[in-house]
Amino acid sequence: MLVNSREMLKKAQAEHYAVPSANFLDMESIKNHVLLAEKLGLPLIIGLAESHLGDNINLEDAALVGKKYAEQVSVPIVLHLDHGESYETCKKAIDLGFTSVMIDASMKSFEENVETTRKVVEYAHARNVTVEAEIGHVASNFNENDTETLYTTAESAKAFAEASGCDSLAISIGTAHGVYKAKAIPEISFDSLNAIREATDVPLVLHGGSGSGDDNLSRCAKEGICKVNVYTDLYLAAMKEHDESDTSDYFKIQKAMKKGMNECLTHYYKVFGTK
Ligand SMILES: [Zn+2]
C-alpha cells in the first residue's frame, strides 16, 4: 500500500516506536526492502537520496519500481526522497509519484530554510505528499568538508515547525552520516531530544542511524524519534555477506547481499520496536 508518511509517523509517535527509513541505491533493493516489510507485516519508508542519483538509478526508475512494489503489498510503504537539495528536485519527485520528500536547507539561514521548506510544503500538500525538513545540521563522515555538527535547539525546532508547516523534522542530537571514525559509538544528547519533543508535536526524525549503537537507537525510538534513517549499515551488511560468501557466481553474490541487507533491516525493526 503506497502511502504518505503522515499517519505512519503519527502512529509511531503515539506508540513510542520508530519506523526505519531504508535507503536504496538500486532498483533491486527497492524490491528487496518492500518484500521484506510485507513478509514481516511491518510499515516501511524507502528512501533515495538526491546525492545518489546517477548512472545507477534515477528518479523516474525509482518512482516506477517503487510504486509498483508498494502498491502490490498490504503493509504501508512510503516512497521518500531523502535530502532533496532544491525545490525543483522535490517537485520532480512529487510529480513522478513519490509520496514524501525531504527538503534539506539546513545549511542555509533559519529564514531561508523556512522559506524554501514552505515553498515545498505548499506544492506537496496540494498533492497529498508529506514533507520532512531539517533544522540544526547532521554532519557527514562521507565528506571531509561537512564534519561540523550543529545541535538542534528546542526553541528553533518549535519555531521552525510552526513557520514552515513541515510534517516531520530531522533534528541533530549527536549522530552523523556514514561510518564513525574509529567506529566509535556517538554520544546522543537525550536532554536535547526530550526538550525538543516537549516543545513541538511534529514527528521527529533521526539521520545517521548506522553505527549509532542499538541502545542509543532503541532509546531514541522510545523517547520521541519516529523515523530513523539507515543507509550505511545496510550496505556494509550486504558487502560483508558478499565477502564471506566466497563465490564468483552472479546469483549467489546477489543472494548473499540480499541476505545481509535483510538481516540488517530485520535487526533494526527490532531495535526500533516498529509495530
Ligand atoms: Zn541524512
Domain limits, the chain:
6-272
pLDDT of residue 72: 97
165 Cα: distance to centroid of ligand 1 (angstroms): 20
Nearest alpha-carbon partner for 108 in 98, 96, 117, 99:
117
Distances (CA, A) of 246 to 2, 32, 49, 238, 240: 38, 22, 31, 13, 11
**Geometric angle at alpha carbon 84, from 79 and 90, rounded to 5°:** 70
248 Cα: distance to centroid of ligand 1 (angstroms): 33
Cell of 63: 518512482
The neighbourhood of ligand 1, an ion, using CB within 5 A, equals 207
The contacts of residue 71 (CB under 8 Å, 6+ apart) are 1, 2
81 Cα: distance to centroid of ligand 1 (angstroms): 11
Q: Which CATH superfamily is domain 6-272 in?
A: Aldolase class I (3.20.20.70)
Cell of 246: 566466497
pLDDT of residue 112: 97
The C-alpha cell 550543529 sits at 150
The contacts of residue 169 (CB under 8 Å, 6+ apart) are 132, 133, 134, 135, 157, 160, 161, 200, 202, 203, 204, 205
132 Cα: distance to centroid of ligand 1 (angstroms): 11
The secondary element (H helix, E strand) that includes residue 76 is: none
Low-confidence residues in the chain, pLDDT < 70: none
Which residues belong to the active site?
82
pLDDT of residue 147: 78
Mean of pLDDT over the chain: 96
245 Cα: distance to centroid of ligand 1 (angstroms): 30
